[in-house]
Structure 1
Amino acid sequence: MAIYLVGDIQGCLQELKSLLNQADFCPEQDQLYLAGDVVARGPQSLETLRFLISLGESAKMVLGNHDLHLLAIAAGIKTANPKDKLEPILQAPDLQDLIQWLAGQPLLRQLPEEETYISHAGLSPQWSIKDALVQAASASEKLKSSNRDTWLKQMYGNSPDNWHQAKTEVAKFRYTINAFTRMRYCREDLSLEFNCKETPEHAPKDIFPWYQLNKQLDSASWVFGHWASLMGQCPHANLYALDTGCVWGNHLTLVRWHDKQVFTEQSHTHI
């Protein structure tokens, strides 16, 4: 069995299939871990969801911010942006099956029998890995519950940006969603900063990449997407940044975990 890890697909299904062909991926024996944001902006979000579902247990994704936003749109909480090209999903006869599957995906996964984790945006420097596992499980249970729509309404907003200020269930849920799916930078006090998307070299001097402030990464490996401007470049030996901006005209990245071989596929289209 081989484990493969892939960055933000965002509806770029043909590039994903090309990568899987390159790597000789076999769904009967291999596993594909996806770093979130499987939908939005690209040309085939509907087909991407259906393809991942067809892979059964061999496809193991974590939720990204675009995936969560689709859940809110499908629930009537938010309005779709035409640029996200989600209308085929929203009009699909199997919409409810697609949404149910997506809502059942976790925010955090651990690779089998090792200290390697995958989440869309990373690991909050205010959490231990144990904290992260507990909060991810709590938020995921809410998204899978009959009260999903109530919780989806609560996930929007930047406050609290500090875990120590998250005193209520709603505040803890919102912080958890933001930390796992929106985080790039933190302030010196470890609170989340949401505005900057630049590379660290071009960021303001009073904010820091989340991983620079995180002491957990000396003993565990972390796989993440979300941060396309990094283009896979991350200075920490235990970090794997997989979003390489395929939907923006760059390329999709796949890593075969056991030997760290990297496969790339240039974007087939530019939005």
Structure 2
Amino acid sequence: MANYFVGDIQGCFEELELVLAKVDFNPSTDVLWAVGDLIARGEGSLPTLRYFKQLDGSAKVVLGNHDLHLMAVAAKIKRVNPKDQLDALLDAADLGSLIGWLRLQPLVQELPEQNIIMTHAGVPPQWDIQTLRAQAQLVSKALTSQDYIPALIAKMYTNKTHVWDENASELQRQIYCINALTRMRFLRPDGGLDFDCKLSPDDCQDPSLTPWFNANGLIKETHTLIFGHWAAVMGKVENPNIYALDTGCCWGNHLTLWHMESDQKITQNKLKKS
């Protein structure tokens, strides 16, 4: 049995197939962990979702911001981003089934034997493991409720909820959890989330901002953290217990697969379209 962790696929399904072929991935014995953003900018969002759905117990997925946005687009709350290639997915006869499957996916996955935690964007440094689990569960509970669209999806689009407050309302804590676990990059001096700078830490011109993985944190002292989301980082994090797996395949770079047991990364370059 092998555990493979893959970075943001973003609809790059052909590249996913190729990188899995390089390691002879076998869903009967192996597990494929995905850091979220299964869909969006690539041409293969529909086959990507279908593939992970049929993998069933052989896949461990967390939701990314693009996956959550798909729910809003499908519900006609938001318009499709012109840069996303979602027509085939949105026109698919099984769209409802695929959305239903996505709603069952959590914001956090754990491999307890190895003290591994996987989220899409990272973990707020001020949270301990109990807080992470509890707040992520609140979001999962809301996503599986019948009124998830008006109760959460329609209300999650705000940058105002950027500072953690354990005494905030349940909805505000859900929104902060989504913002932190699926959108976080830099932190402001007060520990709040910054949503403006998407550059790499080396290129950011604001000295007051700190990459979340460089801030003093509770969970990163005891766990290995796996995340994606931040393509500009290109996998370069100095902490040996933090793995950044988004290497911008949809932007013309490559898809990264991490084999946990051997601590090796396998990559597949973005295919050039003729």
Question: Which TM-score applies when normalising by structure 2?
Answer: 0.96
Matches within 5 A, 1:19-58: 19-58=19-58
1:107 aligns with 2:107: yes
Partner Cα distance (1:61, 1:15) in 2: 18
Alignment-derived partner of residue 11 in structure 1: 11
Partner Cα distance (2:104, 2:38) in 1: 14
What SS class does the counterpart of residue 60 from structure 2 fall into? Answer: strand
Partner Cα distance (2:250, 2:209) in 1: 27
**Aligned residues between the structures:** 270
Matches within 5 A, 1:121-200: 121-150=121-150, 151-164=152-165, 167-200=168-201
Alignment-derived partner of residue 252 in structure 1: 255
Partner Cα distance (1:220, 1:198) in 2: 26
Look up the equivalent residue of 2:247 and give its one-letter code.
Answer: T
How far is 1:226 from its partner? 0.2
Instruction: Tell me, yes or no, if the aligned pair for 1:166 and 1:175 is still in contact at 8 Å.
Output: no
Instruction: Quote the RMSD (CA, aligned, Å).
Output: 1.2
Per mean C-alpha deviation after superposition, the further-off stretch among 136-145 and 242-251 is: 136-145
How far is 1:214 from its partner? 3.4
What SS class does the counterpart of residue 60 from structure 1 fall into? Answer: strand
Q: Deviations over 1:233-254 (max 9, x none)?
A: 1011110000000000000000
How far is 1:201 from its partner? 1.5
How far is 1:269 from its partner? 3.6
1:230 aligns with 2:233: yes
Alignment-derived partner of residue 214 in structure 2: 212
Cα distance change on mapping 1:31 and 1:165 into 2, 3 Å: closer
How far is 1:112 from its partner? 4.1
Instruction: Tell me, yes or no, if the aligned pair for 1:28 and 1:58 is still in contact at 8 Å.
Output: yes
Look up the equivalent residue of 2:267 and give its one-letter code.
Answer: T
Cα distance change on mapping 1:73 and 1:121 into 2, 3 Å: same
Structure 2, gaps ≥5 residues long: none
Q: Deviations over 1:206-236 (max 9, x none)?
A: 0100011132212111000000011111011
Cα distance change on mapping 1:78 and 1:247 into 2, 3 Å: same
What SS class does the counterpart of residue 5 from structure 2 fall into? Answer: strand
What SS class does the counterpart of residue 215 from structure 1 fall into? Answer: coil
Partner Cα distance (1:114, 1:155) in 2: 32
Question: Which TM-score applies when normalising by structure 1?
Answer: 0.97
What SS class does the counterpart of residue 244 from structure 1 fall into? Answer: coil
